[in-house]
Structure 1
């Protein structure tokens, strides 16, 4: 069962470009972990200063091990200066039904 983590990042005014650049520089800290299935950076369409970071993991225990690692703490510290607020959410994906576009020939 996939474990999903979402982080809502509210950014300080004028920091959007620097935040995106720093996030891109640090992706290996997350995607390089043996339990990570992928990571996405999403810009909120309703607020210029809000981004969502979504990552999928093999399971919660392995995510929690990553979360307490020095690699994660360093990565988080590099993003923290851009953040003015936000929230953190975790969930287990219990079902996935691919849409028509996912199965169409490209």
Structure 2
């Protein structure tokens, strides 16, 4: 088995009434993350809790994510999303295993091949 993917999970609390604009801007600027050669993909999920979103992104390795995290590209990305935030947190982890489901999408198969 190859090196495990490195996963970043952000919990973002969005200011009341700003949710639609946040989602629109996140989609508009997402390629600043996904076009990075070490990025395996990114997901935006809306929680049932009012104004809470989770952003999950997978990376080839932690060192390559950390390189992106300190880049000008990342700083510009964060500045565009910051006006919508009222709080948040970040968790990082290494993916230990992946079991594709019967309805797995092509993007998940691509992730498996990249490992």
TM-score, L = length of structure 1 = 0.92
**Aligned residue pairs, count:** 102
Aligned match of 2:108: none
Structure 1 residue runs of 5 or longer lacking an equivalent are: none
Aligned partners of 1:32 and 1:79: how far apart in 2? 18
The residue number in structure 2 matching 1:68 is 70
Could you tell me which runs of 5 or more consecutive residues in structure 2 were left unpaired when the two chains were aligned: 106-115
Corresponding residue for 2:56?
54
What secondary structure sits across from 1:65 in the alignment?
A: helix
Structure 1 counterpart of 2:83, from 81, 84, 93: 81
What SS is found at the alignment partner of 1:29? helix
Query: What's the TM-score once normalised by structure 2's chain length?
Result: 0.85
CA RMSD of aligned residues (A): 1.2
**Whole-Å Cα distance in 1 between the matches of residues 28 and 85 of structure 2?**
17
Quote the Cα distance in structure 2 between the aligned partners of 1:18 and 1:12: 10
- Out of 7, 10, 15, the residue aligned to residue 13 of structure 2 is 10
